[in-house]
Amino acid sequence: EPKPEPKPEPKPEPKPEPKPEPPLYSAAQVASAEQQYLSALRDEIVMHAQNTYPRRAKRRNIEGIVTIEFTLLPNGNITQLTLIKSSGQRLLDQAAISIIQERMNNHFLKFPKEIERSNWKIKVPVNYQLN
């Protein structure tokens, strides 16, 4: 009587490739956190602009929009502050820069956990307008 054929050894299954870690937060969560953060930052700057409108500019009915740019770090520190578009009025330009340097002490809220950037370059128009 013939011996039964030995069963072939099953080949070991290839180990599955490790899947990349999914991001901690969805793109929508990150976008929402960034939008809320930017909105809070702009609100803070607008509030300071209203509260620190230069008296001489008010008396002379001087209005204008100053565009500033700076880099925010995750801890909230503000660096590389630059005036990128003058209002054409030195008083207003200086006031916009001083909002960041003096009123905010070159600092804002630290990034929420959803914002995983190492830094964030932000451009903000500061509108000086009399009602």
Summarised one tens digit per residue, pLDDT across range 81-107 is: 999 999 999 999 999 999 999 999 999
69 and 82 Cβ atoms separated by less than 8 Å: yes
- Residue 30: strand, helix, or coil: helix
- 22 belongs to a structural domain: no
Q: What is the pLDDT of residues 54-68, one digit of tens each?
A: 999 999 999 999 999
- 6 belongs to a structural domain: no
What pTM value is reported for the model?
A: 0.78
Query: How many domains are there within the chain?
Result: 1
- 101 belongs to a structural domain: yes
Instruction: Select the more confidently predicted residue: 62 or 17.
Output: 62
CATH code of the domain in which 82 resides: 3.30.1150.10
Per the structure, the complete domain to which residue 108 belongs is given by: 27-128
Does position 49 have pLDDT exceeding 80, yes or no?
yes
Candidates 52, 30, 49, 29; CA nearest to 41 is 49
- 38 belongs to a structural domain: yes
- 103 belongs to a structural domain: yes
- 81 belongs to a structural domain: yes
Average pLDDT, the chain: 91
* Run of H or E residues at 65: strand 64-72
